[in-house]
Structure 1
Amino acid sequence: MSQDTVSVAIIGSGNIGTDLMIKIMRNSKTLKVGAMVGIDPKSDGLARAQRLGVATTADGVDGLIDMPGFKDIKIAFDATSAGAHAVHNQKLQAHGVRVIDLTPAAIGPYVIPVVNFEQHTAAPNINMVTCGGQATIPIVHAVSRVSPVHYAEIVASISSKSAGPGTRANIDEFTETTSKAILEVGGAAEGRAIIILNPAEPPLIMRDTVYCFVSDDADEKAISDSVEKMIQSVQEYVPGYRLKQQVQFEKITEENKQNIPGLGWATGLKVSVFLEVEGAGHYLPSYAGNLDIMTSAALTVAERIAVAGAKGV
């Protein structure tokens, strides 16, 4: 590990935090895990961190601040809950620690690495939206950079086995945060997000559907090309991110007009994009692509922050 690596802390020793720790230790050339923070001394995440030689505390953020190595921590990932994040952020900001928020708290700007990271390189707190947002908002943006998106709707279907207590406790925040980010980052005029916890056995990998309503004169080939380029961009940090089939188009005419939020009964072009996200299997099963895309996106943002800092940006 290079002496120039940036020391980071992971707050939350559950599935997301543990997967993130392993990703950093295996793959990152710019980051090192300086601390793993939890509140359950018996959690698997803290136990694994200890076995891997990572400093740990079961006393939460206060325990992190009291650790001898805290002065070296430059970035903290918060993988706890939206409610806890506000307190964590306040304490960390007081010490000048950059915070990457993997909860739906949305204190800082919404960031999707392939869409808008460059606009927020100096933000003290960066919000990673949600797993559904990371998977679908790139597609909404891909469509909107070709044609105005009057309405976008996303449906994220994840295995119930990959939805831990944090995810289940934040369902309302998930839909609200994702819906807002569809507008602010995706570029849609109106938007809605839906999450489905699928109890199927064996567990199914993450599936996402993106519907965009655009004007009927939109260029279908340009939209397809833009979506495919975006897929390739996301695959650079989430290799298991892929289209299930070609982008689908449906003309909405006077004969089959649809009631579109913000537009009323309207005609136009419906764009449907069907995705699946397979996880890398670092800590979690490959079907947990919803967690993998969050940790991969957060890792990508932290690495870009570290590189920008090294360049004095």
Structure 2
Amino acid sequence: MAAVRPKRVAVLGAGLIGVDLADKVARSPKLELALMAGRDGESLGLRRAAEMGLATTAGGVHAVVEAGPFDVVFDASNADSHAEHWAALRPTGTTLIDLTPTGLGTVIIPGVNGPRSTAHRHLNLVSCGGQASIPVLHAISKHCLPTYIEVVSTGASASAGRATRLNLDHYIATTSAAIRTFTGTRDVKVMVNLSPARPAPPFRVAMTVLADGIRPAPVRTSIAAAADTVRAYTPGYKVTSLAVSPGRISVVVEVTASGSRLPRHAGSVDIINAAAVLLAEHSAALSR
């Protein structure tokens, strides 16, 4: 049997997310990182990628189109540019995995509806908070109908780059919409905190669910199973607090980064990048 060639991929965006993503892709036996693209040739991200021996360009999405075609392109840039990037890349036949909180494309949470990803070429990973919370919230919604869901994400200020800060409104709107979709709950509130504390805290997501008819044992079992599923591709993911009482469920998860180029507190970057690489590796059905 002939060996399956690695998928040829490109990373669009040279910030912290892009650099870690490039590192994860470079370590995957199923993916071949052919190009990392940014817009500033003097950026630290492109310099680090070059030091890793990777091909780089400051030509942005247009350079990616010219260097293609690629099996997969990861958009790790910013929400305001993503629609332009999809318009440019769509005719090339690539699968575009969106790590920005635009809300465009097919929403994929690997631990919930990952198999659906192979049927689509424009994939939306919601946000780091969405990737951390939705598997748990979806698991809860199998056993009760929540009337209210509140999600508070707290990340280290040091792990939030300029694009992340500019995209906070997109983050909240896109994460809220995805939670509604996966739980069937209309009343959803999402909040984000960036903590300047030293030492930097791990990425933490606190969830509060109000619902009638909560059965503690099945809920606890389902949450544990959801956490195991996420931990299979994000080893630093864990449930640190779980309280189930009549009418209320409170869950806290933390994510510590395990990537070789990430500080441990950058779990927000680790979980969404791990999800992106997993989807790229599973996209065999769309490979040329």
Interval of TM-score (by shorter of Structure 1 and Structure 2): over 0.9
The amino acid across from 2:279 in the alignment is: V
CA deviations on 1:79-123 (whole Å, 9 max, x unpaired) are: 011110110110000211110000011210211001112234221
Deviations 1:129-171 (A, max 9, x none): 0011001111100101122222211100001111100110001
Deviation at 1:3, TM superposition (A): 5.5
- Tell me if structure 2 keeps the 8 A contact 1:248–1:272: yes
Aligned mate of 1:290, from 247, 265, 268? 268
**Separation in 1 of the partners of 2:41 and 2:182?**
38
Amino acid at match of 1:7: R
* Alpha-carbon distance between aligned partners in 2 of 1:220 and 1:24, rounded to the nearest angstrom: 40
Q: Could you tell me which residue of structure 1 aligns to residue 26 of structure 2?
A: 25
How big is the shift at 1:49? 2.3
Match of residue 242 from structure 1: 238
Tell me what 1:214 maps to: 211
Residue 14 of structure 2 aligns to which amino acid in structure 1? S
Give the conservation status (yes or no) of the 8 Å contact 2:243–2:249: yes
Does the 8 Å CA contact 1:100/1:128 hold for their aligned counterparts? yes
Supply the AA of the counterpart residue of 1:278.
T
CA contact (8 A) 1:138 1:186 kept: no
Structure 1 match to 2:169: 172
Q: AA paired with 1:147?
A: C
Checking the alignment, whether the CA contact within 8 Å between 1:110 and 1:185 is kept in structure 2 is no
Tell me the percent identity.
37
1:111 corresponding residue in structure 2: 108
Alignment partner, residue 91 of structure 1: 88
2:117, 2:283 within 8 Å by CA — same for their partners in 1?
A: no
The counterpart of 2:219, out of the listed 215, 218, 223, is 223
One-letter identity of the residue aligned with 2:62: D
Amino acid at match of 2:148: Y
**How far apart in 2 are the matches of 1:192 and 1:11?**
31
The answer to whether the Cα contact below 8 Å between 1:5 and 1:29 also exists between their aligned partners in 2 is yes
**Contact in 1 for aligned 2:24/2:259 (Cα 8 Å):** no
Q: State which structure, 1 or 2, has the greater radius of gyration over its C-alpha atoms.
A: 1
Q: Which runs of 5+ in 1 are unaligned?
A: 252-268
Whether the aligned pair in 2 keeps the contact of 1:140 and 1:188 (CA below 8 Å) is no
Corresponding position: 1:190 with 2:187: yes
Distance 1:223 1:176 in 2: 27
The CA deviation at 1:50 is 2.1
TM-score (norm 1): 0.88
1:108/1:125 contact within 8 Å kept: yes
Measured in 1, the distance between the counterparts of 2:271 and 2:260 equals: 12
TM-score by length of 2: 0.95
Q: Is the 8 A contact 2:201 2:265 kept in 1?
A: yes
Residue 48 of structure 2 aligns to which amino acid in structure 1? R
Counterpart CA distance in 2 for 1:186 and 1:55 is 42
Please state how far the C-alpha of 1:63 moved relative to its aligned partner: 1.5
How many residue pairs align between the two structures? 286
Q: Distance in 2 between matches of 1:285 and 1:33?
A: 23
Distance 1:108 1:147 in 2: 28
Provide the secondary structure at the position in 1 that maps to 2:265. coil
- Tell me how large the CA RMSD over aligned residues is: 1.5
Q: Which residue of 2 aligns with 1:157?
A: 154
Deviations 1:239-267 (A, max 9, x none): 1000113x20233xxxxxxxxxxxxxxxx
The 3-state SS of whatever aligns with 1:244 is strand
| Distance (Å, rounded) in 1 between the aligned partners of 2:174 and 2:186 | 15
Q: Which runs of 5+ in 2 are unaligned?
A: none
Amino acid at match of 1:232: D
Contact in 1 for aligned 2:154/2:194 (Cα 8 Å): yes
Q: Provide the C-alpha distance between the structure 1 equivalents of 2:270 and 2:281, rounded to a whole number of angstroms.
A: 16
